[in-house]
Each structure stands twice: as structure tokens, then as C-alpha cells.
Chain A
Amino acid sequence: MVTVSRYFNNVWKSFWTTMVGMRITGRYLLQKPITVQYPDERMPIPNRYRGIHYLEQEKCIDCLACARACPIDCIEMDAVRHGKELEWISFTLDYQKCMFCELCVYPCPKDCIHMGTEYAFVTYDRSEFKHDLLSYKGMSRDAKIRMVDADKKKAEKEAAKAAKPAHEEAAESAPEEGAEDAGAE
């Protein structure tokens, strides 16, 4: 008798739990889906999102703090210093390596590297994953003006000093440097 009751209990339970499950799924069938149609509408991206980096190049002082903080050494930067001003050659971030940990952002003394909200990064070639963050190469116009001003000031100083015979050599070298820089640009 126990066996028989267990048999029919099993049949009933299977039927009943199936009905309970179908009630739940059926209810969702009639509700509006929660997903979005991706390319047309997108989920909002929070401010703190860790996407593709962007660099405030004007602020950057090429101190390499971010490159040192990076666990996988995916940041490479190269710049030539002209006194205080920087002539940018490259600032690349290899997104094949980058793991978006945001450790590069916090050590920055000038607060100039950030992670943006852009996340789609599709290329046809692996080499394109080496992403250059620079918005311009070389020197900015302001930096150039500042440099020229600084050079002028320096030249004036040197000229003032050149009046004294002991500093002849220094006075000669200053204009030469300026000429080289102009040629490089």
C-alpha cells in the first residue's frame, strides 16, 4: 500500500511541480522583456566605468608613475624634454594586455590619466590594439610659445651675461639648441 501511495504521490508531485513551474514561466511570458535592443538602445554607463583610457595631455608631465603602477607594463610613453616643456613622441597603451584595473589612474600626480566610458574597441588588426592616447604629437602650440618665450628669456639672460667675457661659450650654445628644435619640428 505504501508503494502504491508513493507511486501515485510521485505522479501527482511531478504533475503539480510542473504546473507550478509553468505558472512562473507563463507569467514571465506575458511580461515585458527586461533586455534592451543593444545597438539601438544601450544601458546607462555609470561615471566610474572603467573603459578605454583618455589622457589630458596638456597636464601630463611624463613622470612614468602610471607606467610603473601598471601590473602588466602595458603603458609606454616617450617624450623629449625641452626645459619644462614636453615634445610628445608617443603614449601607447596596449589593450591586448590591459586588464582595466585602474591602478594606473591613482598614482598620477597631475590627475591626468582617466578611464572613460567607451568600451567597444574593435579592430581589424592586432597591432591596432596598441592604442595611442595622444591627441597631438610633438608640442602643443601653447607649449611652443612658452618654450620660445622661455628661450628668448634665456637668450636675453645669456646675452646679458655674455657681456662678461668669462661666459662666451655658453652664449654660443644657446641659439644652436633653438635652431635644432626648430628643425625637428
Chain B
Amino acid sequence: MDRELQGTITLPEEGRTLASGEQEFVLDVRTQDMELNMGPQHPATHGVMRILVRTDGELVTGAQPHLGYLHRCAEKIGENVEWLQYLPYTDRYDYLAAMNNNIGYSMAVEAVMGIEIPRRAEMLRVICAELNRIGSHLIAFGTYGLDLGAITPFLYAFREREWMMSLFEKICGARLTYSYIRIGGVFNDAPPGWLGEVSRFCDTFEVKWREYYDLLIENQIFVGRTADVGVIPRDMALDFGLTGPMLRGSGVDFDLRRDMPYSLYEEIHDAGAFKIPVGTGEKGTLGDCWDRVWVRVVEMMESVGIVRWCLENIEPGPVIGDIPKTLRVPAGEAYVGIENPRGELGHYVVSDGDKVATRCRVRGPSFCNLAVVEEILSGTLLGDSVAIIGSTDVVIGETDR
């Protein structure tokens, strides 16, 4: 009774079927709830994701992501095409980090086959993966600025990404879906002068990175929009199985490159070439949007460090092992998780000795990270919801696969 007099209203049960957990909102005026379809075609949903938002004025009282608009049966295709033929499909689920997907799948198949790959191939893989991580984080950072209304950082980010893509174009001929990393190595050695250009890219990027940081990350409006918004506490992050920058933004120091090292990362980490940035709640609460974006932006510089280390230590040699043209993988199964820009990208492949995989399962980081959106969206403002969705950095190609 007192509550009603004070104007505090507990929303009726049917009005908050979308929100989870007991939440009360202090409202001056009770208005009619409005259901709003954000997407599938909406500027802020980063692809064809649809979020059904229940709003009370500017307040979001519940949100439900709807997936599947970009479903292409990637896993099923993996069970129908030959081992090598599936490689181009791996490009296409997380199309912003195709190199990392290639590596994940190739490593899973290599694990079943039990083969070692040449050291130069590993080096090239790491260089490409880290360059692609930079490119992917550039998109994450740029589109996040775009979500918050800052259009210019987006184009600056694309300017550097353009260079990164032309580097990949030189080494493998494609700009987005590379299929560069093959089972057993990489399919082509770096063309002459390529490593030098990568080095120049790193030098330039360090200068430009400072600009991004000053222009957007440190901007007071940006801080105001992201600090204390969409807070994912440490426990919630662990409960939802978040990985990648989402997890590190919540203060959990976990990175597969260091904690479950694969490829050359153990050696690189021992050499001190990179650190794992972890959110500290510097501008607001630990685990807010600012922390997540900050982790991504700082990771770009760490990736530059890794690339530098590889450029110093790369030696000539073969780039692909002795792999038959028609691959027959011995019976067995393997799960390999690698650190994608978005988190843990796991490939689980089962072979029974055939030319075709028996099972090809992908654990997509975006898919798992998106689950938390529903939880943290309710009780925020409409403008915040865009900021929160952007901060999860989902790639819809990968959530739907």
C-alpha cells in the first residue's frame, strides 16, 4: 500500500514475462508497455539479429534476442563435404576473423591426424591470426562508436583495417574470407617484402592507436555512455560461460592463449611479448561496457607486440607439411579451442577414417556471449540497450552459423 502511494509499482507478472528476476521500477507515471522490434534490419544490431524489446517509455523492461536469420547449416555442411572443402565455410561464420576460424578448424583436424606443422607455418599463422584480431577489434571498436553516434572513429578504424586487409590480399588473394590456413600449415609462403610491410603496419598502427584512444575511449561523453552501463559482474560472467573480452572485461583473467596455450603462444608469452588486459572498472563499475571496450582496444596493442615478436623470430623453411590432396583423416575425435577475437572458438571434429567428417561441431563465442544480453538489458534505457548489444561484439554469422 505504501509503495503505491510512493509511486513505486511492481510490474504485473504478464507485463514482464521477458524480464528475468524480480525487479521493481520507480515510475512517476504508469504508461502502456510497448513492444519494439529491434531488427532484423536495424542499424545497431550488427547484422540480422532481432531483439524484441519491451519498453516502458525509454525504459527497457525486457528483451529477448531472436536468432537464426543467418543460419546456413555450417555444421551440417561440415559433415557433407571433404575435410579441406569445409575450410572456406569456416571463413564464413565469424567473417571478421576468418583467419582465426581457419586456424581453429585446421588445428582440430591436425589434432585428429596427429601431425606437426612446420615452424614457419606456425609463425605465419600467428602473424595472420593476430593481424586479424587487430582487424576484428578495429571493427568492434569502430562499430561501437557508430552505435554511440561517433561516426568518425569508425572510418579511422576502417582505414587501418583496410591496410590489414590489403596485407592479407597480398598473402592469400582474398580480403575477407581468406582460407589461407590449410590443414598442415599455410598454403603459400609470404610474398617478398610482405613481412617488412607488416612491420611498417605495426609502426603506423601504434601511432594511430593513440588517436583512437584519445578520440573515443577517453572522451567524456563516451565514458558517460559506457561506464556503469550493462554491468556484468564476475560471477554472472562465469555463470553464463562468457569468454574473450567479455569475460576479461568482467575482471576474470583468462585467455586461452596463455592459460591453455596452443601453437606458439606459450613461447611468445614466455618471451614476454604480450600481456592479457583485464578490466579494472577504471571509469565505473567492474564489468561495464567501458571495460569491455577498453579490453578490446588494449588487446590490439598486445597483438601488435605478438606480431613484432614473430617478425623478429621468423626463419625460412617450409610452410606446409606433406599433406595428400585428398585427405583421409584417421578415426578419432578432437576438440580444439582457440582464442578468437570474440572468445573461445571451439571445433569438435569426429572422424571415422573417411574423407568426410562424421561430426563437425562449432562452439561459437558470439553465441555464448549473446546469451547474457537478455539478462543485462532489462532495466536499462533504450539508448543503453544499443550500447550493451554493441559491447558484446556479436557477429551474427557466427551466432547463427
Contact = CB atoms under 8 A, between A and B. Distances in A.
Determine whether A and B are in direct contact in the complex, meaning some CB atoms lie less than 8 angstroms apart.
yes
B186 interface: no
Contacts of B174: 50, 100, 102
Contacts of A7: none
A71 to B, nearest CB: 4
Interface in A98-122: 99-103, 106-107, 115
B23 interface: no
Interface residues of A, number: 30
Given A24-B214, A48-B171, A71-B85, A102 B219 contact: no
B18 to A, nearest CB: 35
Interface residues of B, number: 34
Contacts of A10: 220
Interface stretch (A13-21, A56-64, A78-86, A166-174): A13-21
B165 to A, nearest CB: 11
SS of B interface (majority): helix
Contact of B221 (A14, A48, A70): A14
Contacts of A24: 211, 214-215
Given A18-B220, A24-B211, A106-B187, 17 more contacts: A18-B219, A20-B218, A28-B156, A43-B166, A45-B169, A46-B166, A46-B173, A48-B188, A49-B173, A71-B81, A71-B88, A101-B88, A101-B177, A101-B179, A102-B179, A103-B84, A106-B325
Interface of B: 81-82, 84-89, 91-92, 152, 156, 159, 166, 169-174, 177, 179, 187-188, 191, 211, 214-216, 218-221, 325
Interface of A: 10, 13-14, 16-18, 20-21, 24-25, 28, 34, 43, 45-50, 69-71, 99-103, 106-107, 115
22 contacts: A10-B220, A14-B220, A14-B221, A17-B221, A18-B219, A18-B221, A20-B219, A21-B216, A34-B159, A45-B169, A46-B166, A46-B169, A46-B191, A48-B172, A48-B173, A48-B188, A50-B174, A71-B86, A102-B174, A102-B179, A103-B84, A106-B187
